Structure 1
Amino acid sequence: RFHPGCYYRDLVTGETRTLPALIAAVTNLDGEITGLQRTWLDPSGQGKAQLTDPRRSLGDLLGNGIWLGRQPDEPVPVMAAGEGFETMASVKVVMPALPVAAATSANHLAGLTFPPGCRRLYIAADADAAGRHGIGRLSQRAGEAGILALVLRPQLGDFNDDLRHLGPAHLAARLSDQLVPEDARLFLPSG
């Protein structure tokens, strides 16, 4: 959700101000809200606010995520997961039928809880050391649970960069080359 004036407090000076923000609910597998993530936005509309920490999360985050396209009572045989909301929302733009989860951080990605019936997990990579650790740990846990984990790699810094700078057709083509063929047919638009 968009909030036009969400409070932001500087943790060093204690100064508070209001800025527009994207607010996303973090939920467990039952669909219960366990936390939230705030991403403060630049008032000019040009991305995130110029703050030391433009994103903050709170609540019970470990194991939970910002879910897009998942109904709590349905099995999820194939899904994608990644660290950030913008990355996963970008994947969702070109694969609207694929359930996705944003874990809010690399550490929380490593501890994401798998939904019932999950057989295949695509992990959207971020190119930093923390991201690689989260991917490695989540892949290991998925394998131990009998879930095939496959890493999706963006062309640029992340999938949001790919979507914004290269466009949806390019992002879809990039993802098509990395998906199991049956998933490409099922989740990517034809043509």
Structure 2
Amino acid sequence: MTGSASELARRLGEDAEAVCREYLSNGHRSGNYWIVGDVRNTRGRSMHVRLNGNAKGPAGKWVDEQNGEHGDLLDVIRESCGLIEFRDVADEARRFLAMPRPQAQDPGAQRQPAAIRGSPEAARRLFGMSQPIAGTLAERYLAGRGILLSVHERALRFHPGCYYRDFVTGETRTLPALIAAVTSFDGQITGLQRTWLDPSGQGKAQLADPRRSLGHLLGNAIWLGLEPGALAPVMAAGEGFETMASLKVVMPALPVAAATSANHLAGLILPPGCRRLYIAADADAAGRHGIERLSQRAAEAGILALVLRPQLGDFNDDLRHLGPAHLAAWLSDQLVPEDARRFLPPG
């Protein structure tokens, strides 16, 4: 039909240069191609959009020589505008082509604006573009760290080509990434943390900073095992995602929160009804301020705060090098007895 993806792509291809000038404005024409940095309209020369059909393919097809990505002009509209749903991409394509909207859709609906870089909306869109981790490089990465979590953990996703910019050189590239949603305790996504992965499966990508966060982080966290709006009378909190996920491995029924940094740990908003809070410490002193400040705030709210300490550098080190049974035994003496019986495996 007229509004199908293939028909829209063909119509856009008939006016490919105008599409490029609209959505890839940081590029320029060179012969039969539009040259730009990438499909997200970054300055550069690695992406080539065919402007006229020929034996090599129809107009509008593009390829990014740097990362191997390829697609058509609908993909250009989706990525450059930060859209997620196909209906929004199709609506934007029709707007450009001055085509009527399908009768079944609201004629008053308007174009979805691009999300502001680094905003909670940008985080929500990237999370929406990602996929469950089951069977992906992200699941393989976590398993290599000894982290085997329930498939029902909503906070974790995988993106096969997550955008990365080197802040020193300005170089941009796309790499697979583990995506962890940062949420309020009622489940609202306010940000996320990206961990870029080596495409070969050998751990994190070889980058100066393979882990970055975006969005509104203060007061919020990567929550594991907490249903939106549910009570958490007993919970654990700490800085790093892998530290808290390691505790979750040996105490799967315990809600845990990874605040992503010491400062954010200090400002974590605790859910209503919390009575007992375990704070995960690292062996170094870097997070001492966050632990002390959160403990103080918990005490002021009438919450008992107890610090859990690892044997090695952090709880992921304990999990990987000592094993889950040893870690569980080590924790048993640090938990309130009723919590040890409730959350640790019998043994």
The bucket for the TM-score relative to the shorter chain is over 0.9
2: CA distance, partners of 1:127 / 1:41: 26
2: CA distance, partners of 1:30 / 1:152: 25
**What amino acid maps onto 2:198 in structure 1?**
D
State the match for 2:322 in structure 1.
166
2: CA distance, partners of 1:131 / 1:44: 33
2: CA distance, partners of 1:42 / 1:166: 26
2: CA distance, partners of 1:63 / 1:73: 15
Q: Does 1:184 align with 2:343?
A: no
State the match for 1:151 in structure 2.
307
State the match for 1:40 in structure 2.
196
Q: Does 1:53 align with 2:209?
A: yes
CA 1:161–1:45 in 2, change beyond 3 Å: closer, same or farther? farther
Contact 1:26 1:33 in 2 (8 A): yes
Q: Deviation of residue 31 (structure 1)?
A: 0.7
Aligned length: 191
2: CA distance, partners of 1:120 / 1:100: 12
Larger radius of gyration: 2
State the match for 1:84 in structure 2.
240
Return the match for 1:31 from 183, 187, 205: 187
1: CA distance, partners of 2:321 / 2:201: 16
State the match for 1:75 in structure 2.
231
2: CA distance, partners of 1:34 / 1:98: 23
1: CA distance, partners of 2:309 / 2:316: 12
Contact 1:107 1:130 in 2 (8 A): no
3-state DSSP class of the match of 1:183? helix
1: CA distance, partners of 2:337 / 2:171: 52
1: CA distance, partners of 2:310 / 2:200: 27
3-state DSSP class of the match of 2:186? coil
**What amino acid maps onto 1:83 in structure 2?**
E
**What amino acid maps onto 1:157 in structure 2?**
G
Contact 2:284 2:313 in 1 (8 A): no
Q: Does 1:113 align with 2:272?
A: no
1: CA distance, partners of 2:176 / 2:314: 23
Segments of 4+ moved more than 3 angstroms: none
Q: What pairs up with 1:83-102 in 2 under 5 angstroms?
A: 83-102=239-258
TM-score (norm 2): 0.54
Identity of aligned residues (%): 89
State the match for 2:118 in structure 1.
none
Gaps of 5+ in 1: none
Gaps of 5+ in 2: 1-156
2: CA distance, partners of 1:155 / 1:43: 32
3-state DSSP class of the match of 1:140? helix
Contact 2:241 2:260 in 1 (8 A): yes
1: CA distance, partners of 2:288 / 2:203: 25
RMSD: 1.2
Q: Deviation of residue 122 (structure 1)?
A: 0.3
**What amino acid maps onto 1:11 in structure 2?**
F
Q: What pairs up with 1:122-133 in 2 under 5 angstroms?
A: 122-133=278-289
Return the match for 1:20 from 163, 176, 185: 176
Q: Deviation of residue 65 (structure 1)?
A: 0.5
Q: Deviation of residue 125 (structure 1)?
A: 0.5
Q: Does 1:3 align with 2:159?
A: yes
1: CA distance, partners of 2:297 / 2:212: 26
Between 65-74 and 177-186, the greater mean CA deviation after superposition: 65-74
1: CA distance, partners of 2:279 / 2:181: 20
